[in-house]
Amino acid sequence: MLDVRTIFHEPSVPDHPRGAQVLARFPDAERVEVPSHQQVPGLYGNPGGVQDWIRNKRQVLVLGEKKSLSARPNGRSADFIAPSTSNGCAMACAYCYVPRRKGYANPITVFVNVDRIARYLEGHVRRQGPKPQPNQCDPVDWVYDVGENGDCSVDALVSDNVRDLVDLFGRLDGAKASFATKFVNRDLLGWEPHGGTRVRFSLMPAERARLLDLRTTPVAERIAAIDDFVAAGYEVHLNLSPVVVHEGWQEEWRELLRQVADGVGPAARAQLAAEIIFLTHHEGLHEVNLGWHPQAEEWLWRPDLQEPKRSQSGQDNVRYRAAWKARWVQQLREMVAEELPGCRIRYAF
């Protein structure tokens, strides 16, 4: 997954215990000091970087400090989006939105001031007080998405940031961490989450994943890991996304749901819930993908099925046409009810 050969880092990084730890983990990597993790000459904003898309993800690491801390209200997958302890990813999912902001390269950036982030989160949880009423995120706990801009299971290969967050939420009353993942990192099974972390295994039909979920754990292995993570003390949900519409997509998804039904035991089934997210795409990302993985765009870029849509964050995206999508969402909801009875759908869009 990782063969780190170059580390770009802000000047203060070696002075942080976490920064020193990560640098020591990759002693043979070339170190290049940069003024900011957002300003890496030759990496971000370099159109030629499209040709090195996978190499950069495997061989480049960026270290910096998270300057601005805030927990943004969400209300879909989580009550709040926590301040990131990283962004970017070593995997290469063709539909990932993070590269739109970084520009032609999307390796992992790790923030080394995790201690400050953890203190902020602990204070934020304390200020919320008890959750006044159940909602779609959770009936009891305030839920904090700690992996919005990357994959925490992969981040755990680089630093102890993710473990620090799992430990934090394992001891906080009334709050729960949450992250989606497409990578089975069994090191996490040796941690002690105490029910304070929700792992959302992202799933899509295996044939689509082979084309679109590059450098990820095979879907069958993700399903096979669910029982183990539940036994280790994690809450495990399903992230059924992105749903990519094409001729015959319903049959593929029904087969996937049957694989889940056959692959998980009673303990996992008793706490299982799911979120459903249909594909959202972006013209800029479409153009980038044409430079390194044009085959994916045959499935992702479907002007005959899509229409413009401005996202909650102000991005000009394309999504499936609203009237058709509403019907497809209902079809998938009904499929889940038939193939995974008892699996609550927390939200679908």
Average pLDDT for runs of 10 along the chain of length 349:
97 98 98 94 79 92 97 96 96 84 81 98 98 97 96 98 98 98 98 98 97 97 98 98 97 98 98 97 89 95 94 80 97 98 96
Give every strand in the sheet of 86-87, ordered side by side.
Answer: 30-33, 6-9, 60-64, 108-111, 86-87
Q: What are phi and psi of 348, to 5 degrees?
A: -150, 135
pTM here is 0.96
pLDDT of residue 71: 97
Is the Cβ–Cβ distance between 146 and 175 less than 8 Å?
Answer: no
Within its chain, how far is the Cα of 227 from the centroid?
20
Closest to 228 measured CA to CA, from 188, 276, 255: 188
* Of 248, 308, 251, residue with least CA distance to 281: 308
Task: Please check whether residue 249 is in contact with residue 322, taking contact to mean a CB–CB distance below 8 angstroms.
Answer: no
> Can you list the pairs that 128-134 forms with residues at least 24 positions away whose Cβ atoms lie under 8 Å?
128/174, 128/175, 129/174, 130/174, 131/174
Beta bridge partners of 3: none
pLDDT given for residue 165 in this prediction = 98
DSSP per-residue codes, 17-42: HHHHHHHHHSTTSEEEE-SBTTB-TT
Question: How far is the C-alpha of 150 from the C-alpha of 188, rounded, in Å?
Answer: 16
pLDDT recorded at residue 103: 65
Question: In this predicted structure, what is the pLDDT of residue 95?
Answer: 93
User: Residue 100: what residue type?
Assistant: R
Separation between Cα atoms, residue 151 and residue 143, nearest integer Å: 17
Q: Could you give the domains of the chain?
A: 6-348 (3.80.30.30)
Tokens of 232: 């280790």
Could you tell me which of 261, 257, 274, 180 has the C-alpha nearest to residue 227?
261
- State the pLDDT at residue 314: 66
What is the distance between the alpha carbons of residues 332 and 276, in angstroms, rounded to a whole number?
Answer: 8
Q: Which two tokens stand for residue 313?
A: 């964050």
